[in-house]
Amino acid sequence: MKIFIIFESILTPNTQLMKPGDLKNPFNFNLDDLDLNISVDCVLFTVREGKLMVLLTRFSPDFGYALPGGFVRKKEDTDSAANRILMERTGLNHIYMKQFKIFSDPERFSFQPMIESIRNQETLQVDVTRFPDRVISVGYFALVRYESIHPTGGEYSEDSRWTDIQQLPDLIFDHASIIAEAAEALRRELYFKPVLYNLLPEKFTMPELQNLYEIILGRSMDRGSFQRKMIRWDIFERLEEKRTGVAHKQPFLYRFNKEKYEQAVEQGIRFVL
């Protein structure tokens, strides 16, 4: 006999809800459209009030916080799945995302904790015999400006919050390890690519850019050396404007030149910090 349980978080937007009391109306979970052995987890970083922050979600007060993620549809690759999940949670598209690691520990994921946390609800039901014992996750990280997004919680209006990576709450499964790995991958990436342009306003100063680097790398940098490297890269265009309203000497404003950056990448230029 098949066992039916309540299950909500992992369902796709194609999930159909049963009307209250309509126990004869069958559910359509479209499980055949999903590869239930492969998921993606997206580590969305931003900088806020001098801290490196990560976006977390929670679909139930009885369940721990998690990274935005979901199963890969059979007709999409993992890059497409990650971009879809990013769009659902933030409304952003076409931003820099990086696949950084595959998490394949056989014990990393279990449906049972999720089942137990929502067993007392009676909104959705699903046949648990369809779910595998093992789920492999592909990790991605992205950098977004705090002001540019308003977390939506995705299709299921999950509770979303930005959290300092140094003060994480209890996380489900191996998501704390995924965040730690993503932060290290971000720092490595920063040594070779100017990926911080997603965090920058249209106009910024060199001290503001340096401050972002120092927050993410977790160390201070020599101001003169840093500025010489940034100027030598020739991807930051100096404007004939200066930052006003500052206590010290008014610094020049700069603008990221994406066209020059793309040309440099095509030429094989390495942006070694």
pLDDT at 127 (0 to 100): 61
- Domain boundaries defined on the chain: 4-190, 195-266
pLDDT at 137 (0 to 100): 96
pLDDT at 14 (0 to 100): 34
Q: In angstroms, rounded to a whole number, what is the distance separating the alpha carbons of residues 61 and 44? A: 22
DSSP 151-210: ---GGGT-EEEEEETTS---BSTTHHHHHHHHHHHHHHHHTTS-GGGGTS-SSEEHHHHH
Q: Could you check whether 4-190 and 195-266 share the same CATH topology?
A: no
pLDDT at 10 (0 to 100): 36
Select from 3.90.1820.10, 3.30.565.10, 1.10.10.10, 1.10.10.60 the CATH code of 195-266: 1.10.10.10
Model confidence, pTM: 0.81
pLDDT at 245 (0 to 100): 80
CB neighbourhood size of 66 (10 A): 19
pLDDT at 158 (0 to 100): 63
Q: In angstroms, rounded to a whole number, what is the distance separating the alpha carbons of residues 70 and 79? A: 12
Sign of CA dihedral 254, 259, 265, 269: negative
pLDDT at 15 (0 to 100): 31
Q: In angstroms, rounded to a whole number, what is the distance separating the alpha carbons of residues 253 and 237? A: 9
pLDDT at 2 (0 to 100): 29
Q: Are 72 and 38 in contact (CB under 8 A)?
A: yes
Q: In angstroms, rounded to a whole number, what is the distance separating the alpha carbons of residues 24 and 128? A: 19
pLDDT at 47 (0 to 100): 95
Residue with token string 């977004």:
144
Classify 100 as helix, strand or coil: strand
pLDDT at 270 (0 to 100): 81
pLDDT at 125 (0 to 100): 58
Any residues with CB less than 8 A from the CB of 47 and at least 6 apart, and which?
53, 146, 199, 212, 215, 216
Question: Following CA atoms 59, 61, 64, 69 in sequence, which dihedral angle do they give, to the nearest 10 degrees?
Answer: 10
Domain range 4-190, CATH class: alpha beta
Please choose, from the candidates 256, 205, 204, 212, the residue with its C-alpha nearest in 3D space to the C-alpha of residue 233: 256
Q: In angstroms, rounded to a whole number, what is the distance separating the alpha carbons of residues 252 and 205? A: 6
Q: In angstroms, rounded to a whole number, what is the distance separating the alpha carbons of residues 60 and 8? A: 10
Any residues with CB less than 8 A from the CB of 247 and at least 6 apart, and which?
none
Q: How far is CA 97 from CA 143, 154, 247, in A?
A: 8, 18, 37
Q: In angstroms, rounded to a whole number, what is the distance separating the alpha carbons of residues 15 and 55? A: 25
pLDDT at 101 (0 to 100): 98
**Residuewise pLDDT in 10s, the chain (273 residues):** 222 222 333 333 333 333 333 333 233 346 678 777 899 999 999 999 999 999 998 877 777 899 999 899 999 999 999 999 888 877 778 778 899 999 999 999 887 766 665 555 444 555 666 778 889 999 999 998 888 777 765 555 568 889 999 999 999 999 999 999 999 999 999 988 888 888 888 999 999 999 999 999 999 999 999 999 999 999 999 999 999 887 778 899 999 999 999 999 898 888 888
pLDDT at 221 (0 to 100): 95
Any residues with CB less than 8 A from the CB of 189 and at least 6 apart, and which?
98, 195
Please give the single-letter amino acid code of residue 106.
P
Please give the single-letter amino acid code of residue 47.
V
